[in-house]
Amino acid sequence: MLKFNKKSKTLERDEYKYVLRDVKKPNLYRDIFPYGEVPKVSFNWRVMPASPADKIWITDTTFRDGQQSRPPYTVKNIVDIYKMLHRLSGPKGIIRQSEFFLYSAKDREAVKKCMALGYRYPEITGWIRAHKEDFELVKELGLKETGILTSVSDYHIFLKLKKTRKQALGMYLDIVRSALDRKIIPRCHFEDITRADFYGFVVPFAQELMKLSKQAKMPIKIRACDTLGFGVTYPGVSMPRSVNGIMYGLTKFADVPSEWLEWHGHNDFYRALTNAIGAWLYGCSAANGSLLGIGERTGNTPTEALVIEYIAFRGSADGMDTTVITEIAEYFEKEMKYPIPPNQPYVGKNFNVTKAGIHADGLLKDEEIYNIFDTNKILRKPVSVGITDKSGVAGIIYWIKHHLKANVDKNHTGITKIKEWIDTQYEAERTVGISDDEMHILVKKYLPDIIKR
């Protein structure tokens, strides 16, 4: 049957019907995932057309996945961070939702206090197990949507749940019906989708969900979870690891609307951000992240990175206050004593700090030469330099300009003496940088006029 595709503006065959493949033994894709070796990337050279959704946005899992790898947040921490997420999101709600645990009294107290703030964005949603009794927690708190764990790979279905695919499918659909009966929007978390039989389980499951959605006249959302970070976005890569193929298949073969699709990735292979962007490009509206990338094992896609990528793709911040990113980082470090790696993009203390003299020389002439963008304007984080034996005269001059707002000629005898002192330190096998306190003492000693200004 021919059907006109409004996105591609062409007639296409509409005959993609997949049925559950109820196998007796689990398909663990041992050729791709030989446990004693690095996982393999295979290609079939089927290239899917990029098809970005009309609207894209960000969702946040700081209070769910972000709490699974660190000491739990206090209620105050959650409320404070939620307020900052709201400000970062802006009036258009680019950070559209934030999910919360609901199990402990502390979890529920945090939800109630955040809901009492009355913010539209990020919308507070829940996360529960595939247990009917858990819906009472959702209803009690008055949440409109909740995530439900619905694992889709045979690793989970056979090895963890000890079920067949047919049994798992039946259980999941039963749970989803319970949500719909209670007028709660279910968000099915397709756990471990990058190791799942896409055409034998994932698509048939998604098709059944879309049938239930039509019957109930309610949305049923799908979160594609790259639980171990196996997803890749290379052109022509084969399933089940293809992020492009997963998004294309869910929208094309299962008719899942883009606005009901969400990507949730982990960073085990350094691909979390790249995969989230790939999901956006191939039809997924929502990319899920966690502040500072904090999450289980290697973490999730950093929410702040998705903010920057959203602006890059859409050409506008759409009201997001990006300077809040620095405020959030400062809160994590000062209030929660969380050590942010100094070289972490956007939030690390050295992310826009150079220690190379040749770079400092460029910064003196025009900071745009060695700075990725106006970090002071966008992140309230002015470009700076760190002083070592590699900084040279240019580094010393830039440090004085940045910290003391003073201009000094490179031939000034005081500059020469400071450099000589620094060189002597490293000739004596010093291994750490010169601190700001030390630099203040050196400037006061060799350039006293600058301190008096």
Tell me the C-alpha distance between 377 and 228, whole Å: 36
Report whether pLDDT(169) > 60: yes
What's the number of domains the chain is made of? 2
> Does 401 reside within a domain?
yes
Q: pLDDT confidence of 5, banded at 50, 70, 90?
A: confident
CB atoms closer than 10 angstroms to residue 230? 24
> Does 344 reside within a domain?
no
Report whether pLDDT(451) > 80: no
> Does 370 reside within a domain?
yes
Tell me the C-alpha distance between 425 and 18, whole Å: 70
Report whether pLDDT(7) > 80: no
Q: Residue 153 has what DSSP assignment?
A: S
Tell me the C-alpha distance between 31 and 377, whole Å: 49
330 with 359, same domain: the answer is no
Measure the CA angle with vertex 316, ends 314 and 322; round to 5°: 115
164 with 262, same domain: the answer is yes
Question: What's the pLDDT at 6?
Answer: 76
Average pLDDT over residues 430-438: 88
Please tell me whether the peptide bond between 240 and the residue prior to it is cis, using omega within 30 degrees of 0.
Answer: yes
pTM: 0.90
Question: What's the pLDDT at 364?
Answer: 67
Question: What's the pLDDT at 358?
Answer: 63
- Name all contacts of 101-109 with Cβ < 8 Å and 24+ positions apart: 101/63, 101/64, 101/67, 101/126, 101/127, 102/126, 102/127, 102/128, 102/134, 102/137, 102/138, 102/141, 103/137, 106/72, 106/74, 106/75, 108/137, 108/140, 108/141, 109/75
> Does 44 reside within a domain?
no
Q: Which residues contact 314 (CB under 8 A, 6 or more apart)?
A: 56
Average pLDDT over residues 380-399: 86
Helices 303-314 and 272-281, axial angle in degrees (round to 10): 40
Q: pLDDT confidence of 410, banded at 50, 70, 90?
A: confident
Mean pLDDT for the chain overall = 93
112 with 257, same domain: the answer is yes
Report whether pLDDT(265) > 60: yes
100 with 149, same domain: the answer is yes
Tokens in use for 73? 């947040």
CATH of residue 314: 3.20.20.70
Question: Of 281, 302, 334, at which residue does a domain stop?
Answer: 334
What type of residue is 391? S
Nearest alpha-carbon partner for 291 in 100, 451, 65, 7? 65
374 with 423, same domain: the answer is yes
315 with 429, same domain: the answer is no
C-alpha to C-alpha distances, 11 to 8, 338, 366, nearest whole angstrom: 8, 54, 53
327 with 239, same domain: the answer is yes
Question: Of 334, 368, 403, at which residue does a domain stop?
Answer: 334
288 with 435, same domain: the answer is no
Tell me the C-alpha distance between 169 and 160, whole Å: 15
Measure the CA angle with vertex 322, ends 317 and 323; round to 5°: 150
378 with 439, same domain: the answer is yes
Quickly list DSSP for 263-284: EEEB-TTS-HHHHHHHHHHTT-
Tell me the C-alpha distance between 291 and 326, whole Å: 11
Q: Residue 324 has what DSSP assignment?
A: H
- Rounded (10°) CA dihedral 423, 426, 428, 431: 160
301 with 448, same domain: the answer is no
117 with 61, same domain: the answer is yes
Question: What's the pLDDT at 249?
Answer: 96
Domain limits at 224?
50-334
Lowest mean pLDDT among 73-82, 299-308, 402-411: 402-411
> Does 130 reside within a domain?
yes
Average pLDDT over residues 240-251: 97
What type of residue is 265? G
Question: Of 267, 302, 334, at which residue does a domain stop?
Answer: 334
> Does 30 reside within a domain?
no
> Does 1 reside within a domain?
no
> Does 286 reside within a domain?
yes
pLDDT tens, 353-367? 777 766 667 776 777
90 with 218, same domain: the answer is yes
Tokens in use for 328? 């959030």
